[in-house]
């Protein structure tokens, strides 16, 4: 019987480890890759230093008037001066604590969600939160001054529109997804017609409809708030997309699940809500969040109907005759805010996927 010496584990040869190896493997593996890498580096060199020069080195940070903008670079004084407009729009300064409180409560609710298990309780808390936030922001109850929606603006309005759009479209979308998957011919055809109609029309058209055509059909003296009209339009628009995403999820649930639920004698709603929907949603999470991120960005379209969301605020503040010519700074600032929000949603979606990924654990 041969005796073998144990060979100690050796380190990988220097040619297949370390930074050099990584570079060779990933950036310079073929002549084409090398060329592309060099090209990429060249582009970065071409873009980044001028941007840093503009945004930081030559930029003005201090001061409070246009005269303080002297350098060739960006003038962040503009953004600083207009910050409250970007954040709250025309919302009265004395009442801004109400918006801030609504933001703060949001994080409280998120924290509560982590602790609570029962989904019924969660839905109750979320509903409560929306009622409280509405009362806080709009006022008109409990001695809070009413702040009319034409004073809402900036980031706050963007958040309101996307939050209402997301939360409102979700249940409606689920209903239409159920409707489309239903065997009842009328419900099915109504759902299909609705979904296909809305998906065949751009959001901008719906917003125009809601702001230009709709008021003409209301009876004399009936005034629908402009923001409310836009919110309804956005919610129903988004619902059609949510419905299709959830339908995709429903189709991914195996037929055996439906049959098993039927076999234990669950009613239709019990079957759908307790057995099918949770599984369908799990599959649909990435697409749902993708759609919500798209909605968050689409809210900027409200600027064409004269609502001052974050993006429209750049135009408005740029038209102050004391601050003409600083739109670029405004757009860069707004870009950063949008990126932060969208990226956070994306990260949250990843964590949700991980948490619900029960199959592969």
Binding site for other proteins (CB under 8 A): 66, 81-82, 84-85, 89-91, 93, 148, 150-151, 208, 211-213, 215-216, 218, 220-221, 223, 226, 303-308, 312, 315-322, 324-325, 327
Q: Which is nearer to other proteins, 147 or 281 (CB)?
A: 147
Closest CA to 128 of 105, 144, 147, 157: 105
Neighbours of 205 (CB within 10 A): 12
Q: Which is nearer to other proteins, 188 or 226 (CB)?
A: 226
CB of 309 to other proteins, least distance (A): 11
Cα angle for residues 302, 305, 310 (degrees, 5° grid):
35
Annotate 209-228 with DSSP letters as a single string: IIIIIHHHHSPTT----HHH
CB of 288 to other proteins, least distance (A): 32
Q: Which is nearer to other proteins, 112 or 332 (CB)?
A: 332
Contact 210, 225 (CB under 8 A): no
Q: Which is nearer to other proteins, 84 or 267 (CB)?
A: 84
Tell me how far apart the alpha carbons of residues 113 and 118 are, in angstroms, rounded to a whole number. 9
CB of 102 to other proteins, least distance (A): 19
CB of 146 to other proteins, least distance (A): 12
Neighbours of 155 (CB within 10 A): 19
Q: Which is nearer to other proteins, 255 or 322 (CB)?
A: 322
CB of 228 to other proteins, least distance (A): 12
Give φ, ψ of 31 to 5 degrees.
Answer: -55, -40
Q: Which is nearer to other proteins, 1 or 216 (CB)?
A: 216
Tell me how far apart the alpha carbons of residues 238 and 198 are, in angstroms, rounded to a whole number. 9
The pair of three-digit structure tokens given for residue 160, joined into one six-digit string: 């309101």
User: SS3 of 29, please?
Assistant: coil
User: SS3 of 143, please?
Assistant: coil
CB of 61 to other proteins, least distance (A): 17
Residue for token digits 């964590």? 351
Q: Which is nearer to other proteins, 96 or 188 (CB)?
A: 96
CB of 312 to other proteins, least distance (A): 7
CB of 83 to other proteins, least distance (A): 9
Contact 334, 311 (CB under 8 A): yes
User: Which distant-in-sequence residues (6+ apart) come within 8 Å of 295 by Cβ?
Assistant: 162, 165, 166, 169, 234, 238
């Amino acid at each position: 019987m041969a005796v073998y010496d144990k060979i100690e584990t050796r380190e990988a040869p220097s040619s297949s480890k370390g930074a050099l190896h990584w570079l060779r493997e990933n950036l310079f593996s073929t002549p084409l890759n090398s060329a592309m890498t060099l090209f990429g580096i060249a582009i970065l060199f071409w873009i980044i230093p001028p941007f840093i020069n503009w945004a930081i080195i030559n930029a003005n940070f201090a001061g409070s008037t246009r005269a303080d903008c002297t350098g060739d670079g960006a003038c962040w004084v503009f953004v600083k001066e207009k910050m409250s407009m970007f954040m709250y729009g025309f919302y009265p300064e004395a009442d801004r604590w109400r918006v801030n409180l609504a933001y703060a409560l949001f994080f409280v609710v998120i924290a509560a969600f982590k602790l609570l298990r029962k989904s019924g309780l969660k839905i109750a808390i979320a509903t409560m939160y929306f009622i409280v936030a509405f009362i806080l922001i709009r006022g008109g109850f409990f001695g809070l001054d009413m702040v009319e929606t034409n004073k809402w603006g900036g980031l706050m309005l963007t958040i309101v529109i996307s939050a209402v759009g997301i939360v409102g479209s979700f249940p409606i979308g689920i209903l239409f997804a159920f409707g489309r998957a239903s065997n009842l011919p009328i419900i099915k055809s109504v759902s299909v017609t609705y979904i296909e109609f809305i998906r065949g029309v751009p959001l901008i058209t719906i917003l125009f409809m809601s702001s230009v055509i709709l008021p003409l059909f209301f009876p004399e003296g009936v005034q629908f708030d402009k923001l409310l009209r836009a919110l309804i339009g956005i919610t129903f628009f988004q619902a059609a997309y949510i419905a299709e995403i959830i339908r995709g999820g429903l189709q991914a649930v195996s037929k055996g699940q439906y049959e098993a639920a039927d076999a234990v004698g669950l009613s239709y709603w019990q079957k759908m809500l307790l057995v099918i929907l949770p599984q369908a949603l799990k599959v649909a999470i990435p697409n749902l969040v993708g759609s919500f991120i798209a909605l968050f960005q689409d809210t900027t379209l409200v600027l064409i109907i004269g609502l001052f969301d974050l993006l429209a605020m750049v135009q408005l503040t740029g038209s102050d005759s004391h601050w003409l010519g600083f739109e670029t700074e405004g757009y860069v600032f707004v870009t950063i805010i949008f990126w932060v929000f969208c990226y956070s949603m994306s990260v949250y979606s990843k964590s949700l996927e991980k948490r619900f990924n029960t199959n592969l654990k």
